[in-house]
Amino acid sequence: MSKMSPKKAFEIVSEFKNVALYLWDNLYNHYDKDTYNALVYAADALKKQIPKKPIPITRNEHATKIIGYGCPNCKKDVIGSGFYCWCCGQRLDWSECDAEIH
Ligand SMILES: [Zn+2]
């Protein structure tokens, strides 16, 4: 089995949501709310698996020295250098961040 990227999985589940809506509208004349909500839930969970760069935090808007990082999804301060935000579960991409700060 080949390993699928979270981005690709997110795109497929998101597209499948639209396919399900189309089928319900055009073929079955029936809308399955639980299935649709499950697909929305799965898409949201997969979206958070796509690594995003933490947002650099400076002391004020004119300062250049980075004193920490914020979550790109929920904006909370990131604590430590974990692969995921402690608050919302967003996967973080530290590849371009200053190793001494986080
Ligand atoms: Zn977060």
Average pLDDT in the chain: 89
- Asked if 97 and 69 count as a contact pair (C-beta separation under 8 A), the reply is yes
Reported as a single tens digit per residue, the pLDDT across 17-48 is 999 999 988 888 778 889 899 999 999 999 99
Q: Is the pLDDT of residue 99 over 70?
A: no
1 C-alpha to ligand 1 centroid (Å): 31
86 C-alpha to ligand 1 centroid (Å): 7
- Asked if 59 and 65 count as a contact pair (C-beta separation under 8 A), the reply is yes
The label of the residue with tokens 């929305």 reads 40
CA 72/CA 92 separation, integer angstroms: 8
31 C-alpha to ligand 1 centroid (Å): 33
Q: Is the pLDDT of residue 102 over 60?
A: no
Instruction: Give me the pLDDT at residue 100, please.
Output: 60
93 C-alpha to ligand 1 centroid (Å): 12
